[in-house]
Structure 1
Amino acid sequence: MDAQQKAEDRAIERRFNRGMLLRLLVVVGLMFSFGYALVPLYKKICEVTGINVVTTRDLYGGSLKKNTQVDKSRTVTVEFDSNARGPFAFRPVKSSMEVHPGELTTIVYEVANGQSRDISAQAIPSYAPKQATEYFKKVECFCFKQQTLKASEAREMPVVFVIDPNLPKDVKTITLSYTFFEIGTPVAQTAAPAGQGS
């Protein structure tokens, strides 16, 4: 009787374990499906409500959505200037461009190290007219940090900027000028004065 009872208990336990395993597999499958469905659901909710929209292109390769912060009624001429203080060539690829306030714009500057040594350099921007400085917002710029150019290296360095739509209406032209200068210019060794030992 005890052996038969134990066999029945084991059979009940196996059925219970199989049933529990099946339930757990169903729960895992439902959780995975729910997690998988959350991404498109979240995107759809954000699209409908207009919240948390980071990009201007929809996720499925559709057309660009209109940026309502761009002032299409105005055009500002941005002129680009460059000055080099060191043994390298430095210039913008375009001397000017027409932009709308609020529009994300990119200009590229080219720099070339004609020396047979590495050079460290830093760019310092300036703006004209001076009042335009606070309205010229750089998102990305090579002027944010020092640049190290290897011997005979040439590179293109972008500047991504936006002109604030609150720019005064009388400002029609802004000049962005960079002075690119060498840092840590090598100093020629000089002979020690007579009478001084090392």
Structure 2
Amino acid sequence: MRHADNVKMVGKLAVVALGMFAFGYALIPLYKRICEVTGINILALTERDVPGNGTAGKNVKLNTQVDESRTITVEFDANVRGPWSFKPAVASMKVHPGELSTVMYEFRNEQNHRMAAQAIPSYAPKQAAPYFNKLECFCFNQYTLDPGERKEWPVAFVIDPKLSKDVTTITLSYTFFEVGGKTPGAPVVVPTAAAAAAEPGSS
């Protein structure tokens, strides 16, 4: 009788262990899906499936035809959550859709100890987000800076020519925050008058 009970208990434990393994295996894609829906601490699909973020050569399709008949103003905004110095090298630049462009961002750890941090991007108008393709960006990874250490990292991007012609200004905003603390939501971008005019439903 005791042997039968032991066998039954081992069977139950095996089922529990198998269930825990399956749950752990499914947790990562589940977490990614939740983050994609909420927009917290995860890259959108168009930001993950580009070269420079570990997916080069995996069905990445970018429209590289430059539309020189259009010019889009890209404004760069930087926010920090913690003792960091964080700013773009330029406040804005004018680009043609389909043109590869690069902007540098400067980081400095103002604390007296090593800190790890990551950036969360956001866009205005929101409709521009699927067309703003990053080929290289510091927001793809977490970084560790020593006390007083200063770094410069690029953001290389291409704006898809399929972007609505009503959009003439895009604001790219980042929030740089310490890893290990409370993860902030995507930064709230206050669009310029030109960007606001391109939002659906605006008058």
TM-score of the two chains, using structure 2 as the length reference: 0.57
Which residue, 60, 81, 85 being the options, matches 1:85?
A: 81
Q: Distance in 2 between matches of 1:73 and 1:167?
A: 13
Q: Distance in 1 between matches of 2:75 and 2:164?
A: 17
Instruction: State the identity %.
Output: 66
Post-superposition, which runs of at least 4 consecutive aligned residues in structure 1 deviate over 6 A? Answer: none
Q: CA deviation at 1:102?
A: 0.2
Q: Distance in 1 between matches of 2:121 and 2:64?
A: 29
3-state DSSP class of the match of 2:111?
Answer: coil
What are the superposed Cα offsets for residues 89-121 of structure 1, whole Å, 9 maximum, x if unpaired?
A: 100010000000000000011011111111100
Which residue, 111, 116, 121 being the options, matches 1:120?
A: 116
Paired letter, 1:148: T
Q: Distance in 1 between matches of 2:171 and 2:120?
A: 14
3-state DSSP class of the match of 2:102?
Answer: strand
Which residue, 100, 125, 134 being the options, matches 1:138?
A: 134
Aligned residues: 119
Contact 2:64 2:99 (8 Å CA) reproduced: no
Partner of 1:164: 160
Structure 1 vs Structure 2 CA RMSD:
1.3
Which has the higher Rg, Structure 1 or Structure 2? Answer: 1
3-state DSSP class of the match of 1:170?
Answer: coil
Q: Distance in 2 between matches of 1:184 and 1:168?
A: 39
Q: CA deviation at 1:68?
A: 7.1
3-state DSSP class of the match of 1:151?
Answer: coil
3-state DSSP class of the match of 1:179?
Answer: strand
Q: CA deviation at 1:148?
A: 0.7
Q: Distance in 2 between matches of 1:80 and 1:159?
A: 11
3-state DSSP class of the match of 1:143?
Answer: helix
Q: Distance in 2 between matches of 1:177 and 1:147?
A: 18
Partner of 2:65: 69
Q: Distance in 1 between matches of 2:154 and 2:64?
A: 25
What are the superposed Cα offsets for residues 43-77 of structure 1, whole Å, 9 maximum, x if unpaired?
A: xxxxxxxxxxxxxxxxxxxxxxxx97100000000
2:93 paired with 1:97: yes
Partner of 2:44: none
Q: Which runs of 5+ in 1 are unaligned?
A: 1-66, 186-198
Partner of 2:149: 153
Q: Distance in 1 between matches of 2:177 and 2:101?
A: 25
Q: Distance in 2 between matches of 1:86 and 1:98?
A: 31
Paired letter, 1:72: E
TM-score of the two chains, using structure 1 as the length reference: 0.59
Contact 2:119 2:174 (8 Å CA) reproduced: yes
